[in-house]
Amino acid sequence: MSDAERTQHDAASANTPSHLRRTVHILMVVAGLTLLALIYIPLDVRSHSETKLTGVAVLKPGINSVIWYLGGACTLVMLVVSTVCWKKQLRWQYGVCLAIGGLAFPLAAAYRFTASIAPWTVCSTCRGPDGQTYTFMDSSFLQGQTLALGRVASEGLLYKNFDILGDTNGDSPRSYALIARPRDKVRTTYGQLHLTNTGTMLGLRYDNRCYFAYDFLTKQFAGHGDIENISPFLLVDADSRLYETDVETLFKTPDAQPIGLPSREVLQDAMNHTNDEVRRVAEQLLTRYDAE
């Protein structure tokens, strides 16, 4: 190796720690920003008027995924970089990288999970008679569930904002109405919205159990307690064919199914329905009520 080549090699070796430090510092800044995102960008932001829930801003799923992926990647990178810093005798950088990767990120991830232990999610959407988009929203953790009817208000860079028209509980004590769905409106997914011809939106949590309803004419939300007074035939038109499994649930005895069954007054009104099958079912239920 000539003297010129040796001099050039020595100069490059002398500059290596400086380049390494700069790279490590940049990685630490990126990791710090990701830490702040994990802590200060929650999964949802809730608005209340006194004790009433009035609005929810839900973090977009793509943004949440990016935050978690970056957090996981930065954790691994910090642990690897800490090893490099130790070998290169970059002592304080080693301590910072090890603390970030081995302590700060796990704690931030745990905080993010516990701070949003029952995040709001959008289960389904439905176009209302006013042309706006409505959503079946759910906040659940273990046996505790809150169900709500949301209306899309706006959409920002990070969050999608919803106005909450009403909410109810999904856990004990449960309150719902059993709905006899037409065959063409049977869905198996959790949290379905259905709009009736009379301008009422029904929120079916699963199967034919309706947990809330919203009347667009009166602007009234029916939740716990009130929902049990609605008719089970709201989705049925004159030519609809009833879903047999739903009809069977209406004939369960009160001991086996204490809630959700239609009242006698509702069944008497159903005797004037335009659908022949509805009138037949209502008549059979009234006869059974009389016999009990």
The residues, ordered by sequence, that sit 6+ positions from 189 with a Cβ below 8 Å of its Cβ are: 123, 124
Cα distance between residue 45 and residue 119, in whole Å: 9
Note whether residue 34 is domain-resident.
yes
% the chain with pLDDT above 70? 92
pLDDT (0 to 100) of residue 9: 46
In terms of pLDDT, which residue wins out, 193 or 255?
193
Query: How many domains, in total, are found in the chain?
Result: 2
Cα distance between residue 153 and residue 161, in whole Å: 5
Q: How confident is the model at residue 223 (pLDDT cuts 50, 70, 90)?
A: very high
* Whether the Cβ atoms of residue 216 and residue 202 lie closer than 8 Å to each other: no
pLDDT (0 to 100) of residue 22: 86
Note whether residue 271 is domain-resident.
yes
Residue-number span of the structural domain to which 8 is assigned: 3-42+61-115
Note whether residue 124 is domain-resident.
no
In terms of domains, do 277 and 179 share one? yes
Q: How confident is the model at residue 231 (pLDDT cuts 50, 70, 90)?
A: very high
* Whether the Cβ atoms of residue 210 and residue 204 lie closer than 8 Å to each other: yes
Cα–Cα distances in angstroms (integers) from residue 36 to residues 30, 67, 102, 109, 159, in the given order? 10, 10, 16, 11, 17
Over residues 13-25, the mean pLDDT reads 71
Could you report the per-residue pLDDT of 45-80, keeping only the tens digit for each?
Answer: 999 988 899 999 999 988 999 998 988 999 999 899
pLDDT (0 to 100) of residue 98: 87
Is the Cα dihedral 264, 268, 269, 273 positive or negative?
Answer: positive
Q: How confident is the model at residue 96 (pLDDT cuts 50, 70, 90)?
A: confident
Over residues 89-99, the mean pLDDT reads 84
In terms of domains, do 187 and 276 share one? yes
Q: Which long-range contacts (CB under 8 A, 24 or more apart) does 188-191 make?
A: 189/123, 189/124, 190/123, 190/138, 191/123, 191/124, 191/136, 191/137, 191/138, 191/147
In terms of domains, do 274 and 144 share one? yes
In terms of domains, do 99 and 239 share one? no
pLDDT (0 to 100) of residue 253: 64
Whether the predicted pLDDT of 6 surpasses 70:
no
Which one-letter DSSP state was computed for residue 174? Answer: P
In terms of domains, do 182 and 284 share one? yes
In terms of domains, do 204 and 94 share one? no
In terms of domains, do 145 and 279 share one? yes
CA 101 to chain centre: 30
What is the rounded average pLDDT for all residues in the chain? 89
Whether the predicted pLDDT of 11 surpasses 70:
no
Cα–Cα distances in angstroms (integers) from residue 19 to residues 15, 24, 66, 213, 232, in the given order? 7, 9, 28, 63, 72
Note whether residue 205 is domain-resident.
yes
pTM: 0.83
Over residues 88-98, the mean pLDDT reads 84
Cα distance between residue 57 and residue 144, in whole Å: 20
Could you report the per-residue pLDDT of 102-129, keeping only the tens digit for each?
Answer: 899 999 989 988 888 899 999 999 999 9
Radius of gyration of the chain (CA): 29
In terms of domains, do 187 and 232 share one? yes
Could you report the per-residue pLDDT of 244-265, keeping only the tens digit for each?
Answer: 999 999 988 666 656 889 999 9
Note whether residue 287 is domain-resident.
yes
Note whether residue 222 is domain-resident.
yes
Cα distance between residue 232 and residue 36, in whole Å: 50
Note whether residue 163 is domain-resident.
no
Could you report the per-residue pLDDT of 127-186, keeping only the tens digit for each?
Answer: 999 999 999 999 998 778 999 999 999 999 999 999 999 999 998 888 999 999 999 999
pLDDT (0 to 100) of residue 234: 96
In terms of pLDDT, which residue wins out, 8 or 255?
255
CB atoms within 10 A of CB 63: 15
In terms of domains, do 255 and 176 share one? yes
In terms of domains, do 12 and 74 share one? yes
In terms of domains, do 212 and 104 share one? no
pLDDT (0 to 100) of residue 2: 55
Cα distance between residue 189 and residue 73, in whole Å: 34
In terms of domains, do 175 and 73 share one? no
% the chain with pLDDT above 90? 63
